[in-house]
Amino acid sequence: NAGVTQTPKFRVLKTGQSMTLLCAQDMNHEYMYWYRQDPGMGLRLIHYSVGEGTTAKGEVPDGYNVSRLKKQNFLLGLESAAPSQTSVYFCASSYPVKTSQGNIQYFGAGTRLSVL
């Protein structure tokens, strides 16, 4: 049971290049999330998904796109990378929100992205 797995772990891009970050979870979670973490800014939600085939915008969605074609996978795409997208990206997943459990999210190890 690996939990939440992110690939790649590190990546360096040049401005204008594109890339896709992959998140895979083996916990049969319905909900999945993409965050970015920057010094002094904390975790900020980029996009999220409440089920296969559905996605929605979070707090900072500009410059990113996502897809959830399979329940276990959530992809984050950068179409034209900018230096402002240099960050650490975390994927998380959770069960559907239930009144007795709140929204406990389980995180991957992160992807460190530098855009030059």
Partner 1 sequence: QKEVEQDPGPLSVPEGAIVSLNCTYSNSAFQYFMWYRQYSRKGPELLMYTYSSGNKEDGRFTAQVDKSSKYISLFIRDSQPSDSATYLCAIHSGGSNYKLTFGKGTLLTVNP
DSSP-assigned letters across all residues of 44-104: EEEEEEEETTEEEE-SS-TTEEEE-SSTTEEEEEESS--GGG-EEEEEEEEPPPBTTTB--
Maximum CA pair distance of the chain?
Answer: 46
Q: Kindly state the smallest distance separating residue 80's Cβ from partner 1, in Å.
A: 27
Specify the residue, 16 or 57, whose C-beta has the smaller distance to partner 1.
57
Q: Kindly state the smallest distance separating residue 26's Cβ from partner 1, in Å.
A: 15
Q: Kindly state the smallest distance separating residue 87's Cβ from partner 1, in Å.
A: 14
Residue count of the chain = 116
Chain residues in the site for partner 1 (CB under 8 A)? 4, 31, 40-43, 45, 48, 50, 90, 97, 99-110, 112
Specify the residue, 31 or 74, whose C-beta has the smaller distance to partner 1.
31
Specify the residue, 40 or 69, whose C-beta has the smaller distance to partner 1.
40
Using CA atoms, how far apart are residues 8 and 108, in angstroms rounded to an integer?
A: 11
Q: Kindly state the smallest distance separating residue 16's Cβ from partner 1, in Å.
A: 27
